[in-house]
Structure 1
Amino acid sequence: MRTSHVFLLLCILGAALFSSAAANNGNGPEDCCFKFYPRRVNKKLIRSYYMTDERCPKSGAILVTERFRHICADPNLSWVQGIMKSLDEQAF
């Protein structure tokens, strides 16, 4: 009877340790773009940008507006490339 209690306690302890390890496995990217903003954005409204993580399913440029709104845009579009180039030149 005593052995079964110890075995049950070890099983519960093992399950608790496994569940906490599985819950902490959130090492994915923070910001990904799943849909791109469909319209052109005025360059004067954008204060900065950053690219999505390489682990994201789509490569995207996240444009940050003056009001700190984040807009996902397709980095292959010419107007997005123009904004990124302009902001890069302002940094120097």
Structure 2
Amino acid sequence: MRTAAILLLCILGAALFCTVSCNNNCCFKFFPGTLSASRVRSFILTDDRCPKPGVVFVTRRNLNICVEKNATWVQEVLQTLVN
């Protein structure tokens, strides 16, 4: 009984730690089209621990759109936003 209580406490502690420190900023579906840089207000890079590298573009209408980080057009939009 005591072992089960300790195990449960460890599991709950790990779950609490993960909700505080784990980054849920991952993209699992990617926008199939393209966006012009004029429609994008800002961007957020996804976490390196995500299964696929991505970028979240925040549009002028406050929409968050996941795009593939390695796409040529995404790199061009990022360069425009950074400069």
Query: Which entry has the higher C-alpha Rg, 1 or 2?
Result: 1
Structure with more of its chain in strand, by fraction: 2
Q: Does TM-score exceed 0.5, indicating one fold? A: yes
Give the aligned length.
80
Uncovered stretches (5+) of structure 1, i.e. residues with no partner:
1-7
Determine what percentage of the aligned residue pairs are the same residue. Answer: 35
Q: Which residue in the other structure is 2:74 paired with? A: 80
Consecutive aligned runs of 4 or more in structure 1 exceeding 6 Å deviation: none
Uncovered stretches (5+) of structure 2, i.e. residues with no partner:
none
Provide the TM-score with structure 2 as the length reference: 0.78
* Aligned-partner SS, 1:57: coil
Distance in 2 (alpha carbons) for counterparts of 1:86 and 1:63? 13
Q: Are residues 1:46 and 2:34 paired?
A: no
Q: Which residue in the other structure is 1:21 paired with? A: 13
Q: Which has the higher contact order (CA 8 A, sep 6+)?
A: 2
